């Protein structure tokens, strides 16, 4: 069994790379999927469908094109990892967590201790809270190896 | 048919009251449900189950007690209204939006124009974006009356 | 048991009234639900959320507000009746039929014989094809009385 | 991951070929599925099960044989593309769109601007509206590559 | 809680009446639903939709009209009772049993000992096998009273 | 796509072999699955779990062991073929048809014209009625090739 | 909204009565449902269907009759309370907990601290762990009142 | 078709090995999955996420990390085998059985005759009761070979 892991959230640090590198080193049977993590191309995903003067509709079109991707990937996942940085709003990450919770797909949160309180509902529905990407790697190692 | 409307999100302004008052005045066939909107009692919801020194576990216990309520109410809803203020993180509101989206329950977002961009994924899955509670009342009037 | 019947489609003839009157006369345990059947107010359902210059977005906003209603009503229905006139495109009626089919909710089509061929896929998933509203009344009488 | 794309609707222009050629050129990880797009053999799909004098039953039998195919293919799809020409009734395409919507499978509509208004409900449930097959190719490129 | 009990199968003996009378005497919180149990009107359920020369299509139309009723009633049931007489084919009863099994709705079979062997698959998916209607009454009494 | 076809019902004629041979000759992308079609070993499937004096329990144990197989295979199927001979009770075949109907999996019935009437409910939920295995082969050819 | 609470597990102490009395005193909008809590009549639930010499089959028949009740009640519940005494095996309580978990219905465990370790999987899927029935009452008060 | 078999429960005897060896010898198309069966590493599965002084939370964290694994594996299974030794509480095994029952996934119980009575609810929802691992092998042989 290959485990599909959906990596949701923050795009400004190297947490995805550290998780992927850690799992690769251990040769875990894991496949990673993510939304587009490039901010500019994500915002422009719908631009080729026609220019919008109203920024709401530009965002709307691009977000829906992105959602074709993310909806499929989230629903294909065995496990979610949802990352929150301490600075940004990252409502899309919390949205993904709620989506995973409703699908009853296990997910892990990854964030620092200083945002425990505002994330309490998101953490309450999670199967684990990690502070470092390497802890996520260790969870994935354990979960896929069962020992 | 009585329509159940779940009011999720921000607790610092009177948006819930304005929606409820507006619908009451029109005698709409609508029933409103909400999470606990009192911050302190929400944080303390699990305290009677035993004291925790680690704030993570205090939050964890209280959030899960709250989730017994919110999970049932969200799943009973015909319509969600998800409110974001411009200041706070409100990850629980975005979590609820994701949950509603995964259940394929229609929801309306309620927020100012200055946070359109960070909310684009949440708005993309919504059926309407309102800026004022009275617009939500008008949507509920139209939707329940069909004219 | 009160049976909920969703009446979808054409808005230019009195087929809804004839079905409702026929069922009322027989005092059948039936409750009827419909989308907004007034063309102008349906098109304007989202206008109060802000003016759109681009007609696509005006339609988009209004259709989504309408969908909050129709999605809930279709999902609450025990039976659908989908009416096609011989003239118009009525893609929303065919859309509703597909929605009902995917939910595995039984539906009846109501249309003249001259459009049998273009409606063959819609009829193939239906439980009955009627040509007159009074035939639908007779089906509803039989189905709810069981004799 | 190979993405399965269901191509529904109009059969009189080369839109399917243009999408498939465009994706092949880009070597996208996409597999296309379609209903039978040959009008005559589609109409005759049930003829070998016995002759019908009544054209309704001939259509009925053939449509059901076709539905064995389409129902399986639609339910296997990650993404739908639903094409409407400006002339024909194409109720089967709108039916497919409703079916996809009820399954909560993302779909893209492909049609000219002159039929925006009658398609507003179908577009409202879609994730994107394209006017040219090449725009669909670009969406599929973006969605499968995530950048 | 009112328990809905679907009574499926044989129509030539008074088993339905005996179960209903027994439950009425005990004032159990039970509501009974059944397909049309009148053979002639059941066969004619679709006749008003137009005459068919081919008996297959007459049966087809009537069966589908009946199915609008039975599908809704079966899906509303908390418990099924499926009755097989020793003589007839009663494929509709076995069909209902399979339908109930797939819905994971508990059902009771009611039949004599001489047809145990041909009914073994139907009995294997049942929660109880009764030989007399009064045993079904006793099960319903116990199940609804819990003592 | 490999299509999984579940072959349910009668075990005394060579209909399964004829369907399989016909599809093999055409090299259709079809995989066939069936319950155990050997009467004696099917009846004895649970004997190794301990002897039963009461024939009801022997049947019960064997049927449940068989159901581990059939339940999985039916649920894996894209298409069912349900065969009824003119002589036997074959309640397991009708049970399978009901199970397929509840799963909304398309199925084809295969039986002679002399049992149309008792099978009317089973045929009403089917996508096609065939009288000869070769007609089923032709349906499978058409459905998998789409032309 | 009336909340349905399923009370599963141990039958030798007065925990059910204490929860029910506590909720009655507070006039909470709660309805309680339980399996049969009388050991002897539960074991005898299937006896009227015929005597069994083999105790396995007596248990089997009675358990299935009980399951008609419990399956319906569990599936109707908004909240489960699963009670474990410190002495008995109570595999049925753990079974109910697993059933509730798979349905994604929130449940509360009620047990002493000395069995934390063997119950860790059951507690991990629970929304709260209480040691006294009065704590369950307080949870139900909070959850139904939302404050 | 490769059949996935989930092996749940007791970890102190060699029942898993005997089942796996028996199936390997017969070259059955079976893949086995299990929770972590090593007691110490299972208890420590969450330790790397931070030390807990309260043993409840240590168990809680480890159990949830384990549940990421078991939830995925149970949901991927075609068949469950749930083993109860005569000594231990093994509430996790009964929990898994309830979970499998709610998913409607067929499972086999494996236990001695002396615990028939306390396991009656768990056995009632099972498809077979075996006393020896070799009987499970024979069931798996029969089920996968269909003869």
Task: Please report all neighbours of B, defined by 3+ CB atom pairs within 8 A.
Answer: A, C, G, H
Kindly report the CATH class assigned to B3-37+75-145. alpha beta
Token reading at D98: 């409703």
Measured between alpha carbons, how far is G53 from H26 in angstroms, rounded to an integer? Answer: 36
- Which pairs with CB-CB distance under 8 Å and at least 24 residues apart come from D45-49? D45/F142, D46/F128, D48/F135, D48/F138, D49/F128, D49/F129, D49/F130, D49/F135, D49/F139
**If 0-12 CB within 10 Å is exposed, 13-18 middle and 19+ buried, where does residue C52 land?**
middle
- Other C-beta atoms closer than 10 Å to the C-beta of H19 total 26
Q: Could you read off the pLDDT tens digit of each residue along chain H, which spans 147 residues?
A: 999 999 999 999 999 999 999 999 999 999 999 999 999 999 999 999 999 999 999 999 999 999 999 999 999 999 999 999 988 889 999 999 999 999 999 999 999 999 999 999 999 999 999 999 999 999 999 999 999
Domain boundaries, chain A: 3-37+75-145
- CB spacing of F127 vs D38 below 8 angstroms: no
C-alpha E15, offset from chain centre: 11
Phi-psi region of G106 (alpha: psi -120 to 50; beta: other; left: phi over 0): beta
Measured between alpha carbons, how far is G143 from G139 in angstroms, rounded to an integer? Answer: 6
Q: Could you read off the pLDDT tens digit of each residue along chain D, which spans 147 residues?
A: 999 999 999 999 999 999 999 999 999 999 999 999 999 999 999 999 999 999 999 999 999 999 999 999 999 999 999 999 988 889 999 999 999 999 999 999 999 999 999 999 999 999 999 999 999 999 999 999 999
In the predicted model, what is the mean pLDDT of residues E82-89?
Answer: 92
CA distance, residue B74 to nearest chain C CA (Å): 15
Measured between alpha carbons, how far is B61 from B47 in angstroms, rounded to an integer? Answer: 8
pTM reported for the whole predicted model: 0.98
β-pair partners for F107: F80
Tell me if G80 sits within 8 A of G74, measured CB to CB.
yes
CA distance, residue B89 to nearest chain G CA (Å): 22
C-alpha E40, offset from chain centre: 18
Measured between alpha carbons, how far is B12 from A104 in angstroms, rounded to an integer? Answer: 31
Tell me if C6 sits within 8 A of C33, measured CB to CB.
yes
- CB spacing of F128 vs D65 below 8 angstroms: yes
In the predicted model, what is the mean pLDDT of residues C118-128?
Answer: 98
Of A127, A129, A147, the CB nearest to H67: A127
β-pair partners for G109: G82, G129
Which residues in chain F have their CB less than 8 angstroms from residue H146's CB? 34-37, 69
CA distance, residue G111 to nearest chain F CA (Å): 36
Which residues in chain D have their CB less than 8 angstroms from residue A49's CB? 128-130, 135, 139
Q: Which residue of D has its CA nearest to A70?
A: D143
R_g of chain E computed on alpha carbons = 16
Residue G73, chain H, CB below 8 Å: the answer is no
Tell me if G1 sits within 8 A of B32, measured CB to CB.
no
Which residues in chain G have their CB less than 8 angstroms from residue H36's CB? none
Task: Count CA atoms within 13 Å of residue A114 on its CB side.
Answer: 3
Of F62, F103, F116, the CB nearest to E102: F103
Q: What is the pLDDT of residues B22-62, one digit of tens each?
A: 999 999 999 999 999 999 999 999 999 999 999 999 999 99
Which residues in chain F have their CB less than 8 angstroms from residue E113's CB? 56
DSSP string covering C90-146, please? -HHHHHHHHHHHHHT--EEEE--GGGTTTTHHHHHTSSEEESSHHHHHHHHHHHHHT
Farthest CA pair distance, chain E:
56
Measured between alpha carbons, how far is C56 from D117 in angstroms, rounded to an integer? Answer: 8
DSSP string covering D15-72, please? HHHHHHHHHHHTT-SEEEE-----HHHHHTTTGGG---SSHHHHHHHHHHHHHHHHHH
Specify the pLDDT at position G98.
98
Residue G59, chain F, CB below 8 Å: the answer is no
Strand locations in chain G (E): 3-9, 30-33, 79-83, 107-110, 128-130
Measured between alpha carbons, how far is C129 from C97 in angstroms, rounded to an integer? Answer: 13
Task: Please give the angle made by the CA atoms of E104, E109 and E115, to the nearest 5 degrees.
Answer: 130
Q: Which residue of C has its CA nearest to A51?
A: C54
Of B64, B94, B120, the CB nearest to A94: B94
Q: Which residue of A has its CA nearest to B86?
A: A89
Measured between alpha carbons, how far is C27 from H26 in angstroms, rounded to an integer? Answer: 66
Q: Is the pLDDT score of F32 beyond 90? A: yes
Tell me if B82 sits within 8 A of B136, measured CB to CB.
no
- Other C-beta atoms closer than 10 Å to the C-beta of E77 total 24
Measured between alpha carbons, how far is E55 from H96 in angstroms, rounded to an integer? Answer: 51
R_g of chain F computed on alpha carbons = 16
Say which residues have a Cβ less than 8 Å from residue F25's Cβ, sequence separation at least 6: none
Q: F109, F140, F103: which is closest to F127 by C-alpha?
A: F109
Q: Is the pLDDT score of E88 beyond 90? A: no
Q: Which residue of C has its CA nearest to E72?
A: C78
Measured between alpha carbons, how far is A6 from A18 in angstroms, rounded to an integer? Answer: 14
Q: What is the mean pLDDT of chain A?
A: 97
Specify the pLDDT at position G88.
86
Tell me if H144 sits within 8 A of H3, measured CB to CB.
yes
Tell me if A6 sits within 8 A of A77, measured CB to CB.
yes
R_g of chain C computed on alpha carbons = 16
Specify the pLDDT at position D88.
86
Q: What is the pLDDT of residues G92-141, one digit of tens each?
A: 999 999 999 999 999 999 999 999 999 999 999 999 999 999 999 999 99
Q: Is A103 helix (H, G, I), strand (E, B) or coil?
A: helix
Q: Is the pLDDT score of C10 beyond 90? A: yes
Mutate to test the interface with F, among D4, D7, D72 (most CBs of F within 10 A): D72
Q: E7, E3, E1: which is closest to E107 by C-alpha?
A: E7
Taking CA atoms, B70 is separated from B6, B65, G100, in Å, by: 9, 9, 17
- Other C-beta atoms closer than 10 Å to the C-beta of B9 total 25
Tell me if A75 sits within 8 A of A2, measured CB to CB.
no
Residue A142, chain C, CB below 8 Å: the answer is no
In the predicted model, what is the mean pLDDT of residues E3-9?
Answer: 98
> CA torsion, points H66, H70, H73, H77, in degrees to nearest 10?
170
β pairing state of E30-33 and E3-9: parallel
Which residues in chain G have their CB less than 8 angstroms from residue E131's CB? 50
First to last CA, chain G: 16
Token reading at G119: 């119950």
Q: What is the pLDDT of residues C15-67, one digit of tens each?
A: 999 999 999 999 999 999 999 999 999 999 999 999 999 999 999 999 999 99
F88: pLDDT confidence band, cut at 50, 70 and 90? Answer: confident
Specify the pLDDT at position E87.
85
Mutate to test the interface with B, among H50, H52, H53, H54 (most CBs of B within 10 A): H54
Q: Which residue has the tokens 């409750």?
A: C31
Strand locations in chain A (E): 3-9, 30-33, 79-83, 107-110, 128-130
Strand locations in G29-75 (E): 30-33
Which residues in chain C have their CB less than 8 angstroms from residue D101's CB? 95, 98-99, 102
Specify the pLDDT at position E86.
86
The 3-state secondary structure of chain F, one letter per residue: CCEEEEEEECCCCCHHHHHHHHHHHCCCCEEEECCCCCHHHHHCCCHHHCCCCCHHHHHHHHHHHHHHHHHHHHHHCCEEEEECCCCCCCHHHHHHHHHHHHHCCCEEEECCHHHCCCCHHHHHCCCEEECCHHHHHHHHHHHHHCC
First to last CA, chain B: 16
Q: C18, C6, C9, C3: which is closest to C83 by C-alpha?
A: C9
Q: What is the pLDDT of residues A76-89, one digit of tens each?
A: 999 999 999 988 88
Q: Which residue of G has its CA nearest to F51?
A: G54
Chain C contacts in chain E segment 35-54 (CB below 8 A): 35-38, 41, 45-46, 48-50
Residue E22, chain C, CB below 8 Å: the answer is no
Task: Please give the angle made by the CA atoms of E57, E62 and E65, to the nearest 5 degrees.
Answer: 130
Mutate to test the interface with G, among E123, E146, E147 (most CBs of G within 10 A): E146
Tell me if E85 sits within 8 A of E8, measured CB to CB.
no
Taking CA atoms, G123 is separated from C9, G138, H119, in Å, by: 51, 19, 21
Tell me if H96 sits within 8 A of G98, measured CB to CB.
yes
In the predicted model, what is the mean pLDDT of residues F102-126?
Answer: 97
C-alpha A102, offset from chain centre: 15
Residue A57, chain C, CB below 8 Å: the answer is yes
Residue G123, chain H, CB below 8 Å: the answer is yes
B87: pLDDT confidence band, cut at 50, 70 and 90? Answer: confident
Q: What is the mean pLDDT of chain B?
A: 97
DSSP state of B146: T
Tell me if A82 sits within 8 A of A111, measured CB to CB.
no
Measured between alpha carbons, how far is D90 from B70 in angstroms, rounded to an integer? Answer: 43
Tell me if C62 sits within 8 A of C38, measured CB to CB.
no
Residue E59, chain D, CB below 8 Å: the answer is no
> CA torsion, points F144, C129, E52, F114, in degrees to nearest 10?
40
CA distance, residue G99 to nearest chain E CA (Å): 13
Which residues in chain H have their CB less than 8 angstroms from residue A128's CB? 46, 49, 61, 64-65, 68
Mutate to test the interface with D, among A69, A70, A102, A103 (most CBs of D within 10 A): A69
């Amino acid at each position: 069994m290959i485990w599909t892991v959906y990596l949701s959230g923050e795009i400004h640090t190297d947490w995805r790379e550290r998780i992927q590198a850690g799992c690769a080193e251990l040769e875990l049977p894991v496949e990673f999927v993510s939304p587009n993590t490039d901010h500019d191309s994500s915002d422009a995903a719908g631009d080729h469908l026609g220019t919008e003067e109203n920024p709401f509709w530009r965002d709307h079109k691009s977000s829906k094109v992105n959602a074709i991707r993310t909806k499929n990937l989230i629903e294909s996942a065995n496990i979610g990892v949802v990352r929150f940085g301490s600075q940004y709003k990252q409502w899309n990450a919390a949205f993904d967590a709620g989506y995973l919770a409703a699908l009853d797909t296990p997910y892990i949160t990854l964030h620092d201790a200083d945002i425990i309180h505002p994330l309490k509902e998101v953490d309450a529905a999670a199967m684990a809270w990690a502070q470092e990407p390497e802890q996520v790697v260790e969870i994935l190692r354990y979960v896929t190896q069962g020992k």
